Homo-oligomer: A and B are copies of this chain.
Amino acid sequence: MFLSKTCAYAVRSLLLVGQHRLEEENGKIGLRTISERLEIPTHFLGKILQTLTKHGLLSSAKGVSGGFYMTDEQLRNPLMTVVKLIDGSDVFEKCGIGLATCSEQRPCPVHYAFKPLREKMLKTFESETIESMVKSLNSGDTFLVV
């Protein structure tokens, strides 16, 4: 896959939490619920959400009636923030056939095909936000589960 499994899990979870927020004002959603709805291993997902929370992409509350939730600001995070945090930005920067550096000065044979697509992808990831994607989910244009 283009994104690591971990990163895909993270994105889907943020989308679900974001979606939940609009459904139920101030509603929190628990780890167990997320992992069941998205069919992601519970404890593994726990770590991922921990990371997201620690880096401010997600909010959490411990204890009774606790769970995960998102603020308005967090909803406005671009997809890129998540990908950069989990997978880094190598995939957007490194040479497609693994040369030490990707440069216009010494482009590799796939450079001119690769770079524009990589950059288009980057742009998309920067302009799409959790919020914009949640909207397309809520309007029924797109889906989060099969």
Contacts and interface: CB of A to CB of B under 8 A. Distances in A.
Contacts of A63: none
A79 B117 contact: no
Contact of A3 (B98, B109, B117, B145): B98
A146 interface: yes
Number of this chain's copies in the complex:
2
B143 A90 contact: no
Interface stretch (A4-12, A41-49, A64-72): A4-12
Given A109-B136, A109-B137, A124-B113, A101 B146 contact: yes
A106 interface: yes
B15 A109 contact: yes
A65 to B, nearest CB: 29
B1 A98 contact: yes
Nearest to A133: B109
A98 B128 contact: no
Contacts of A9: 98
A108 interface: yes
Contacts of A79: 110
Interface in A98-134: 98-101, 106-111, 113-114, 117-118, 120-121, 124, 128, 133-134
